[in-house]
Amino acid sequence: MGVEESIMQITNIQSTFTSISDFILIKQLGQGSFATVYLVRCVKTEALYALKVIKKKLVLQAQELDHTNAELKVLQRITHPFLVSIYGAFQNADSLFLVLDFMPGGELFHHMQKLGSFSERSARILIAQLILALEELHSNNVIMRDLKPENILINNDGYIKITDFGLSKIAQQGIVIGTTFCGTAEYLSPEQLRNDPHGTEIDCWSLGIICFELLFGHHPFYKLEPNQTRREMKQMFTRVLKEQITFPNNNNASMQSMSFIRGCLEKEPKKRLSAKQMKKHPWFAKIDFEKVIRKEYDLEYKPEKHLNAKNVDLLNFDCRFTNQQIDLADIIGNNEEEIHNPEIFEGFKIDSAIVDRPVVKGNKKQQKIVEIESDFDIDVELSM
């Protein structure tokens, strides 16, 4: 049985939402090269979700169609407590829409910047969650390929979910045959830097980097500020390829935690700890992974709560985005425009407001009106 056939046996999540008209837009949460993420409220239930709006034109111009389709495939086919869930995928003439979990704690990156470093207890439970998520992905031959703090979201209870599978790969026997160079520079493994064929081991390397950052507050192979020059980046790559991991003097980390990091940051992929092997490492001897997956641990670190019965507060999100005015016309696009070649965006159904509830204007179909939340004082229920 091939990878595609076996992975198709995973139960798909039933699409709850089929149209942007199911929501009221509240705030912008973030923005990337091809997509913008909004906080939205379900019209019927008032539950909150994250709506990822991807511009078709930009995807096609950058030849990112395969990556866009891959993201939806992973989201639809694999469900796990520590992977973000999808509740709908649809398209109109201009955009693709993904309805995802809203995680009010925002990105792990934000909290790492805020705290500097985490206690060993907090770091260990957080890493345990990542191990379980990677174990699920890897058992289904999915390589994340972009595991980093910006792609790890935190809920109010302190538990995490991995998001953004745009660079993920469903790989035959867990190996990418070829030399596709993708990912984020600071989290690239030696085999990626060498342009070697690579597999699930690259995610385990990235996890090791994140673990080091959580415990010590900086990257293991450089201690520079953001926006490195090309020369500085090249120096970091050289260290990744040639230098062994060292730890800060006078640190309070346990020998077991440092042993775990060394196991994750083995230069040779076959010597590197796999997700399954990580669970058996002595650092996790006192961790019950069944309790972790059931979220039964009361976590030491939780994001500050900014929610109450009548208020939504987004202080865990970058104000450069949350202060942006929502451009409704840009999100909806031209309602009268024909949807060309919708089938190339695999799994994204045509917005049901266009298909089922058209308003006739000439011979064109118009989308149902979408609202913007004008008042922030609302009762809310988080989507979980």
Binding residues for ATP: 56
Identify whether residues 202 and 274 lie together within a single domain: yes
Assess contact for 319 and 384: CB atoms under 8 A: no
pLDDT tens-digit profile of 8-55? Answer: 333 344 468 999 999 999 999 999 888 999 999 999 999 999 999 999
Enclosing domain of residue 76? 3-104+306-382
Q: Out of 22, 94, 146, 203, pick the active-site residue.
A: 146
Stated as kind and residue range, the H or E segment containing 143 is strand 142-143
Identify whether residues 141 and 283 lie together within a single domain: yes
Give residue 177's pLDDT band: very low, low, confident or very high (50, 70, 90).
low
Does residue 4 register a pLDDT over 90?
A: no
Buried b (16+ CB within 10 A) or exposed e, 30-64: beeebbbbbbbbbeeeebbbbbbbbbbeebeeeeb
pLDDT for the residue 19: 94
Query: Residue 120: how many CA atoms within 13 Å on its side-chain side?
Result: 13
Helix (H, G, I), strand (E, B) or coil at 305: coil
Task: Report DSSP state, residue 323.
Answer: T
Identify whether 299 is part of a domain: no
Identify whether residues 238 and 336 lie together within a single domain: no
Rounded CA-CA distance 352/349 in Å is 8
The full length of the chain comes to 384
Rounded mean pLDDT of the chain? 85
Identify whether 260 is part of a domain: yes
pLDDT for the residue 225: 58
Identify whether residues 224 and 329 lie together within a single domain: no
Angle, to 10 degrees, between the axis of helix 120-139 and the axis of helix 201-216? Answer: 170
- Look at the block and give the residue holding tokens 């239930």: 45
Does residue 127 register a pLDDT over 90?
A: yes
pLDDT for the residue 250: 77
Identify whether residues 218 and 121 lie together within a single domain: yes
Helix (H, G, I), strand (E, B) or coil at 137: helix
Give residue 336's pLDDT band: very low, low, confident or very high (50, 70, 90).
low
Which of 264, 293, 322 lies at the terminal end of a domain, its last residue? 293
330 is catalytic: no
Does residue 122 register a pLDDT over 80?
A: yes
| Across 179-186, average pLDDT | 77
End-to-end alpha-carbon separation of the chain, Å? 34
Give residue 180's pLDDT band: very low, low, confident or very high (50, 70, 90).
low
| Across 120-140, average pLDDT | 97
Q: What is the CATH number of the domain that holds 81?
A: 3.30.200.20
| Across 233-240, average pLDDT | 90
Identify whether residues 243 and 311 lie together within a single domain: no
Q: What is the CATH number of the domain that holds 117?
A: 1.10.510.10
Assess contact for 34 and 55: CB atoms under 8 A: yes
Which of 248, 269, 293 lies at the terminal end of a domain, its last residue? 293
Number of domains in the chain: 2
Identify whether residues 244 and 157 lie together within a single domain: yes
pLDDT for the residue 360: 36
Binding residues: 56
Identify whether residues 85 and 117 lie together within a single domain: no
Which of 293, 316, 341 lies at the terminal end of a domain, its last residue? 293
Identify whether residues 287 and 220 lie together within a single domain: yes
Rounded CA-CA distance 223/160 in Å is 26
Does residue 87 register a pLDDT over 70?
A: yes
Of 64-78, 148-162, 168-182, 212-226, give the lowest mean pLDDT range: 168-182
pLDDT for the residue 311: 55
pLDDT tens-digit profile of 219-229? Answer: 999 865 556 67
Rounded CA-CA distance 203/188 in Å is 9
Helix (H, G, I), strand (E, B) or coil at 232: helix
